[in-house]
Amino acid sequence: MNDTHEPQAHRPLVRREDHDTVAVLHLDDPDRRNVLSSRMVQDLIDAIDACEQDDTVSAIILTGAGPAFCAGAELDNLLAAAKGEEHRLREVYAGFLRVASCRLPTIAAVNGPAVGAGLNLALACDVRLAAEEALFDCRFARLGLHPGGGHTWMLTRAVGHQVATAMLLFSQPLTGQEAANTGLALRCLPRTELLDTAVALGGRAADADPALLRTIKQTLRESGTEADFARMVDTEFERQVHSLHQPAFTEALERARARRRTDPRP
């Protein structure tokens, strides 16, 4: 949550930087710690839309400019919602919900504090990498706010009930290393290595068929909420059979056969 001072109106608040097949989206309002203003949210939505429409992009990385990842919702939106304009909360939600619905694989390179709605932004990504300087801080209760935007749902699934309870009820933030230890982040590493590591990981998505990755991502989402194991087996069976009939499988199988002809070792 941050003050209401607006940056220059003409400057985009999300800056895209392409690394071969990986699009890095920088939240670029460092003077306000990349607060989720209405402008920031709209710029983020526009940037993700553009990436999805770009056939050269296989993965998206989200990171923050300056020392913070994202300081959370802008104060203006919260004050307006408190005065009866509840739709202003939905305006904040729209940013991380667009990340959550992205069809491309997403990585949060959390370079510094991710607070409140900023933590939602990181949770909405498929994978999180944390710098040693990262801080994952719910902070809702300390501000007199109930969590919103699916925060409890995403956080509990990321770290489990006990850690989520400590973070939400006892206002316990997690450092980058603690996030890695609890599974909230895949890895914790020096900040100087964070973006290169994220780009290298994101680049591996280019090795697979984009349509197949979208389907696997959808299956992963469903597996998090499907309580019936047998139903999930049936779902995977149908989608695996479908993949067997796609050109991507035929081409990959031929490449594997060619490798075996030149190198028969298992």
> Are the beta carbons of 251 and 258 closer than 8 angstroms?
no
Structural domain count, the chain: 2
Q: Which of 98, 100, 18, 94 is nearest to 59 (CA)?
A: 18
Of 204, 223, 241, the domain-final residue = 204
What residue numbers bound the domain in which 246 lies? 210-262
Q: Is residue 187 part of a domain?
A: yes
Whether residue 1 is contained in a domain is answered as no
User: CA-CA distances (angstroms) from residue 106 to 98, 178, 199?
Assistant: 11, 21, 11
Q: Are residues 216 and 111 in the same domain?
A: no
| Residue 216 sits in the same domain as residue 198 | no
Q: Say how many residues make up the chain.
A: 266
CB contact set of 112 (below 8 Å; sequence gap of 6+): 64, 66, 67, 68, 69, 131, 133, 134, 135
Among 204, 227, 250, residue at a domain's last position: 204
Dump the DSSP string for the chain. Answer: -B------TTS-SEEEEEETTEEEEEE--GGGTT-B-HHHHHHHHHHHHHHHT-TT--EEEEEESTT-SB--BBHHHHHHHHTT-THHHHHHHHHHHHHHT-SS-EEEEE-SEEETHHHHHHHTSSEEEEETT-EEE--TGGGT----SSHHHHHHHHH-HHHHHHHHHS---EEHHHHHHHTSSSEEE-HHHHHHHHHHHHHGGGGS-HHHHHHHHHHHHHHTT---HHHHHHHHHHHHHHHHTSHHHHHHHHHHHHHHHH----
Q: What would the pLDDT profile of 65-106 be if each residue is shown by its tens digit?
A: 999 999 999 988 888 888 998 999 899 999 999 999 999 999
Mean pLDDT of the chain: 92
Look at residues 160, 177, 204 and tell me which one is the last residue of a structural domain: 204
Q: Does residue 166 belong to any structural domain of this protein? A: yes
Read off the pTM: 0.90
Asked whether residue 34 is assigned to any structural domain, the reply reads: yes
Residues 171 and 253 in one domain: no
- Confidence band, pLDDT 50/70/90 cuts, at residue 6: low
Q: What's the rounded Cα separation, in Å, for the pair 155 and 181?
A: 15
Tens digits of residue pLDDT in 124-166 = 999 999 999 999 999 999 999 999 999 999 999 999 999 999 9
- 59 lies in the same domain as 148: yes
CA–CA gap between residue 230 and residue 213 (Å, rounded): 23
For residue 18, pLDDT over 80 is answered with: yes
Domain membership flag for residue 8: no
Asked, for residue 7, whether it belongs to a domain, the answer is no
- Tell me, yes or no, whether 45 and 162 share the same domain: yes
- Cβ neighbors of 101 (< 8 A, separation 6 or more) are none
Q: Would you say 108 and 121 are in contact if contact means Cβ atoms under 8 Å apart?
A: yes
Asked if 132 and 178 sit in the same domain, the reply is: yes
Domain with 63 in it: what CATH number? 3.90.226.10
